């Protein structure tokens, strides 16, 4: 794992939540405390988070959104095509970067080496320096506490920030509500 940030995503029965801290580091120096590393894509139907170089995030978010548009918002098809393109690009595949993308139905972790991972539990995924702390916290809180999804993500990222020097307490949260049928 690289020294980056922490992103945590939770796909729950009511929708989806993603959160990320705001710290940007360069070596052992904090450059910025309030960067936004999560965003809504494809008309607000998809949540995405990025761990890695901030400049590369914009390029990868735009690239993924183009695949979403081409695939008419089908996240499963878009992640496969995006992953192929990311892996084949000589410059982008060398990035030390990861992404999480999700909607109310699916959650995926993506890497430049072509990995498309749907978490085993299908509900929680985390990337970045503090990912193991955030994921462990989220699993414990989900099992032993009655928190709203946004609170679970915020609390888990807060615990990760207490333990990981590359993660701070300036946490951003985005949500999607599952459409009623």
Task: Specify the pairing of strand 98-102 against strand 107-111.
Answer: antiparallel
103, 45 contact by CB (below 8 A): yes
DSSP 124-167: EEEEETTHHHHHHHHHHHHHH----HHHHHHHHHHHHHHH-TT-
Angle at which helices 75-88 and 54-70 pack, to 10 degrees? 130
Task: Based on the residue annotation, tell me whether 111 is a catalytic residue of this protein.
Answer: no
d(CA 26, CA 35): 13
**Strand spans (E) along 2-155:** 6-12, 15-20, 24-26, 29-32, 38-41, 46-51, 98-102, 107-111, 116-117, 124-128
Residue among 5, 6, 167, 175 flagged as catalytic: 5
Known catalytic residues are 5
């Amino acid at each position: 794992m690289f020294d980056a940030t922490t992103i945590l995503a939770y796909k729950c029965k009511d929708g989806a939540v993603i959160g990320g801290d705001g710290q940007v580091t360069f070596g052992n120096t904090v450059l910025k405390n309030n960067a936004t590393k999560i965003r809504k894509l494809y008309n607000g139907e998809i949540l995405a988070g990025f761990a890695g170089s901030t400049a590369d995030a914009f390029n990868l978010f735009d690239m993924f959104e183009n695949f979403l548009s081409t695939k008419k918002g089908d996240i499963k098809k878009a992640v496969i095509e995006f992953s192929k393109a990311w892996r084949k690009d000589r410059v982008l595949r060398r990035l030390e970067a990861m992404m999480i993308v999700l909607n109310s139905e699916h959650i995926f972790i993506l890497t430049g080496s072509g990995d498309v991972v749907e978490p085993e539990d299908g509900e929680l995924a985390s990337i970045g320096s503090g990912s193991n702390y955030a994921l462990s916290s989220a699993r414990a809180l989900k099992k032993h506490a009655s928190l709203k999804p946004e609170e679970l993500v915020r609390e888990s990222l807060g615990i990760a920030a207490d333990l990981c020097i590359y993660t701070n307490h300036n946490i951003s949260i985005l949500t999607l509500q599952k459409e009623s049928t």
